[in-house]
């Protein structure tokens, strides 16, 4: 990834922080963007320990003006944008009959609308440069995983998978590769909160909820954020130059489609 400039959204913690760190370790210059500026700075500082240049940006990936400003700042600082990893996302544990219009709008604002406009804005820059890589973080929830946090979240991640395939077809002639990573159960702060919520709803313990989610995994363990980061780095790198329009599960074999 040397000589590549990589923008990671939702980089403040969990999967995003792991991706920012892994990209930096692979030699990239990294922009860590997050709605929480303090977290973005912490991730950028951690990435900087690998010796490359970094930048922390506060950005709301559900707001198009904020997305434009984020990409403009990245390009103004580094002169180009080679890779964007669209990782920012939100969810909560909820039964389908308990979801509200506010829940739907909140999740789709970031998880679907936000990914689309981050992709579109980055692609404009990449077309001008002659190419680039786009990696969207989706979820096996978008493929019907029954253990999803909620139906609205699953729908938003299904949208990301569909967007990835269509964008790959339309952006391929511009030398832009578009792929998705679909994590399974992954131990992040977002999932920790979901586990707590579900434990309260089911009157059980967090450990029991995690055990229930982990038991069906053939390989026997949930993901760490670094498991997702490893695939994101590959898809952004030279080994994936002829891979586009794909959505890869990282889930220990939990689902096979």
pLDDT tens column, 207-216: 898 888 888 9
Task: Give mean pLDDT, residues 218-233.
Answer: 95
Task: Give mean pLDDT, residues 163-172.
Answer: 98
Mean pLDDT of the chain: 95
Residues 116, 48, 34, 195: is their CA dihedral positive or negative? positive
Distances (CA, A) of 158 to 92, 97, 118, 179: 17, 19, 17, 14
Distances (CA, A) of 83 to 53, 102, 149: 15, 32, 29
Active site residue 248: no
Number of neighbouring beta carbons within 10 Å of residue 192: 13
**188 or 142, greater pLDDT:** 142
List of domains in the chain: 5-184+224-250 (3.40.50.720)
Tokens of 20: 């920012």
User: Which regions of the chain does DSSP assign to beta strands (E)?
Assistant: 5-8, 29-34, 54-58, 83-86, 132-137, 176-183, 247-250
Res. 179: pLDDT tops 90: yes
Tokens of 10: 């939702």
Q: How confident is the model at residue 123 (pLDDT cuts 50, 70, 90)?
A: very high
Res. 13: pLDDT tops 80: yes
Question: What is the CA 116 to chain-centroid distance, rounded?
Answer: 12
Catalytic residue of the set 153, 160, 213, 247: 153
Q: How confident is the model at residue 85 (pLDDT cuts 50, 70, 90)?
A: very high
pTM: 0.94
pLDDT tens column, 190-209: 778 878 888 988 899 988 98
**187 or 57, greater pLDDT:** 57
What's the pLDDT score for residue 227?
97
What's the pLDDT score for residue 188?
87
3 state DSSP class of 133: strand
Res. 234: pLDDT tops 90: yes
């Amino acid at each position: 990834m040397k000589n590549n400039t990589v923008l990671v959204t939702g980089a403040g913690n969990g999967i995003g922080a792991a991706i920012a760190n892994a990209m930096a370790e692979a030699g990239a210059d990294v922009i860590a963007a997050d709605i929480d500026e303090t977290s973005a700075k912490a991730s950028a500082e951690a990435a900087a320990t690998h010796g490359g240049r970094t930048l922390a940006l506060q950005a709301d990936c559900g707001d198009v003006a904020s997305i434009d400003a984020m990409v403009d700042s990245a390009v103004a600082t580094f002169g180009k944008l080679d890779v964007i990893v669209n990782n920012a996302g939100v969810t909560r544990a909820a039964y389908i009959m308990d979801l509200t219009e506010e829940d739907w709008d909140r999740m789709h604002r970031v998880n679907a609308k936000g990914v689309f406009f981050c992709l579109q804005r980055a692609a404009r820059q990449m077309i001008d440069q002659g190419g680039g890589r786009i990696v969207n973080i989706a979820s096996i929830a978008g493929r019907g995983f029954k253990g999803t946090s909620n139906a609205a979240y699953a729908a938003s991640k299904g949208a990301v998978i569909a967007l990835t395939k269509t964008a790959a077809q339309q952006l391929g002639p511009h030398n832009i590769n578009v792929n998705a990573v679909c994590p399974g159960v992954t131990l992040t702060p977002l999932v920790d909160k979901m586990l707590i919520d579900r434990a309260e709803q089911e009157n059980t313990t967090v450990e029991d909820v995690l055990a229930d989610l982990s038991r069906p995994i053939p390989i026997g363990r949930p993901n760490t954020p670094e498991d997702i980061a490893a695939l994101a780095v590959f898809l952004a790198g030279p080994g994936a130059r002829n891979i586009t329009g794909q959505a890869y599960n990282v889930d220990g074999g939990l689902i096979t489609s």
